[in-house]
Structure 1
Amino acid sequence: MGFVHSIFFKLFLSFLLLSILPLSMAGILTNHNVSSLLNKQLNQDTSSILEQNAKVLGIFLNDLNRMGEIVSRSSTASQFLKSKDDNEYLRSFLPLDQSFDSIQLIRPENVGMTLISDRGYVYNYGYGINRDKIEFYTTDWMPKLNKLSEKPILSPLHQRPYSYIDPNTPVFSYVKRIWSTDAKAKGVLIIDFKQSILADLFPNTYFRKDSSSDREAGLLITNDKGQVLYPSTPTPFSRDDLSFVSQSSRIVKQNDETYQLVTLFDQETGWTLTGYFEEKTLYQPIQSIHDSIYWIVVPSIVFCLLASLFISHRISTPVRLLQRLMKKAGRGDFQQIAFTSQDEIGELGRGFNQMVQKIEELLRQIYQEQNQKRRAEMAALQSQINPHFLYNTLESINSLARKHKETQISKMIVHLGRLMRLSISTFDEMIPIHQELDYVSHYIELHKYRFPKSLTYSIEIDEEIRRLYTVKWILQPIVENAILHGLESRKTDGHIAICGWIAEDDVFLQVSDNGAGMEPQALQELHDHVEHQAEELTKYGKKVGICNVQSRLRYHFGSAYGIQLASELGQGMTVTFKLPRRVHDEKEKIVDCG
């Protein structure tokens, strides 16, 4: 027996699974639940901050929309949009300056406003315009005019080549389509803001810094093109990193730095706000919990390991001792050892000692019985001499009858001798059908000498059926009943017909006579005895012949097989045997053909 299959290993493994596994799972689940709770809480807090920042952006966008609405309703701006020549265009500058001075007060941090009419006239406020580079509609940051008809758009960050002041400073622009008051002229309003305005809107979005330039936590604002609008300083993420960010994502950077990101899309601005933080910062508050779990779980596992070894050894030692004793008993060495423990194993050991003691007594008893059996076998062997001696004696009488020309005596002795030879030739319960037919034919031939009238018989059975096997001595009792109870009382000649046929997996044999037959009531009574009381009647000696046959057939083949009776008064009786189709296989075993 291998160690893996030993009871010690199974007990040890069971104790480990029942102790260490729950402890480990408790530690893992505790750590997971605390981490998940903190993660969930931090995500909720970050989402709340993002929502507040989105509201700040909403206020900023509302101010821009208000500025655009004032320009749209201004009569001076309407007059500018309707300017048809340079004189009208130049006359509108002073009124526009006065109007835009008041508009500037809403967001004084803007770095310039530009008004462009569809006739190509351009008005600038708050900066010096470079009229050599005022092709606004050909720039990549300027939205298409058909999109502006839906709602104002915040452009991506871009430079200002149309300005003499800081042309390389990146800004984003509020672009709005406006109409004159009579809706006969239209143009575009552009309000430029520096990127730093977002830093003014979100001054406390970096939660903590480390020694490097990277932040452990902070806020990102990106537009629909993935461009980082805020912050202006480098971030830990590239544009490719941010393009795959979902509602809650994890990004692993170099040096195994893992960031947790939470996003919020603002419908008004079309910008995405992303809050991020390092996971190592997240897990710092629960590091002490990790340490506590470690110093609780690990010593508990060690204790359970030692306890499992001790308990498994205490339980398995007497079992292994009992195993060795049983192996010795299997080899014939019956030893007994006193078991002092009062538990179930001790009871098992004491029961083993009692079993060994009982086996030794049975062995002595069997030895005595074997001696008696040998003596009985010798006596049985001597008794076999008697049938053989009788058979040899009948052969001598037969020779003497032929010598004195007593033909009938000789034939009777021959048939009787063959009957005796068939009866002692085999002790097998199953025999070929042809052997059964030979036995019956000799039996009928003997009765022909003592029958007062002529007795004839016929056997019509194919060779295929003759080679099949059945229970021996089933035809002779039926034939005997036909002769003694059916034909002997009649004054006419008697005839017995034996035939057979095969139907699928079953074999049918039939014995018919032209004897006296039976009345319906008597036939029904006999039928009930054969069907329902055959075994009982056979056991207690009533109707031994036909009931004995039925009992033996059903014992060997089951209740689906047996004999059926049919008779009419004065017309004889027919007995039909239903048998399974069986042949002899190569190993001398009877098997079904079907």
Structure 2
Amino acid sequence: MNTLARKLRMNTIRSIMTWSFSVLILLMLSIVAVLLYDKFSETAERSAYLNTQQIVDQVGYNLEDYVAGMARLYRSIEQNMLVDGQWEDEQVTKQLDTIISSRDDIVSIALFDEQGNLLRNRPSVQVRDSARVTQQSWFHAALRVPNHLGFSLPHIQNLYPGTYKWVVSMSKGVTVVRNGKPMNVILLVDINFKAIDELSSRISLGKRGYVYIIDEGAGNIVYHPQQQLIYMGLKNESVERALKSSDSYVDESAGVKRLITVKSVANIGWKVVGVSYLDEMMTTREEVNRYMIRVLAVVLVLVIMFSMLLASTLTRPIRLMERTMKAVEKGDFDVELQVQGPLEVERLSSRFNLMVHKIRQLMRQIIVEQESKRKYELEALQAQINPHFLYNTLNSVVRMVGMSKNEEVITMITSLSRLFRISLSKGKTVITAAEELEHARHYLTIQQMRFKNKFAFAIEADEEALSCMTLKLVLQPLIENAIVHGIEYMVDEGFIRIRASAAGGALEFEVADNGVGMPPETVARLLSGEEIDKSGAGSGVAVRNVHDRIRLYYGVQYGLSYESALEEGTTVRVRIPAVRAEREEAGADE
């Protein structure tokens, strides 16, 4: 939860980009949604109007098709009930039987003369009386307009006793020849009103919409799905306006908005009226509204996810730069930031890499300066060592001159001159191991004369060690320390052995004496920098200087190591890298 909160904070580039993209896209989608909503709603309403019109038209077409079928039936009766234009009872009876048996929607067929007398009928039942026939509207219509198929309003069939079916009467006046005389005959077909009812009741205009049929002449309702309510006066229809209209209009007479669609049925004098409730049509608008809200919600979620992904992708190089900066902050200057991302981030990454590169250059410069400082310290240590050695040597020469030992003085001064020739080495700091051993030999010769042959010495060296390079004046302080602190206080003659060897990539000098030795605590303090003897005689300055010189020049992994025990002597080892003379000279030339 805390991680998500950090990601969504408004003070980060990622969160700013995420919310900016989301708000911008949501605003654009809202504008588009409003425009599309109006367009879709208008289209949906237009489609609803068109659909209602098509349904009403379909009802009208069905009725017209049904009427056309009945007209064809009348023509068939007229054509088939006569033989050579003459009325024949047998042929008429046969024709009527065929027709009524082939149509389920026909309730009865009857032929009447102008006085209302029954000539033939099917089914063959007795008519109540001819007076009742002549009073029927269909009878007068057939006489008034001969050869025209007329339709009556739905009514209860009352011509036959015991029969009370709800029918629509179709009548037509035709002229036939019977017994050689012309005779006007009225053909009556009563059809079951259920057929017309089924044509209209199958139609659905929404959940509450319906279709009803009116007569264009008097405006009487021919069919209504709520016929009983109409008869009981519990429901009214604005028939007058429907009679005057031939298109769609909105009616509010019932207290609600209704779309009224009118269609005239040809050749029958009826009108089909469709009634649709506008609030149901508006449901389409509400559905579109809900759909658009759902779409906006889904799109908003997708936009937020996409914005977070895009923001994460764009800010990834910046986060990588932040981690790299933290690494530099912790001291890791070997990092290299990959140049990637947008142009501005690439430029920033390049500048960062340039900055780190300059920092590394400055660090290398500092290292070079530190190396120079080490060399200056090295020269200072050498300057500190040389006077110390010169003081001890000249002190011995003075004593020998006082004792008139001229030959020994000459030998000592000769050794001293050669020793100083090697010490100077034309200003070089590094000399060969052979020169360092020669320097040690002259020094031991001088000290041997000084201490009146109190000790003997031996120098050994491997052939391959002689050509290795070493700092000069490494062995002399160690030999002096062995003589002064190890052998000078011995009763017996002392012995100093010096050995040089090269193995495992390292040059090692070993200076061993059989002197009085040192306790472990003295050995531990010898190279630690602690002062050993307050008097200065055993302070170990020379030994520490040698150790510091080696570590400054070659590194902390090189230097001196001591092994000593009381009354057993001391061995000190000098370990430095094994560098050949040729390699050193080549490096000097470069």
* Range into which the TM-score falls when normalised by the shorter chain: 0.3 to 0.5
TM-score by length of 2: 0.38
Which one has the largest radius of gyration?
2
Q: What is the TM-score normalised by the length of structure 1?
A: 0.37
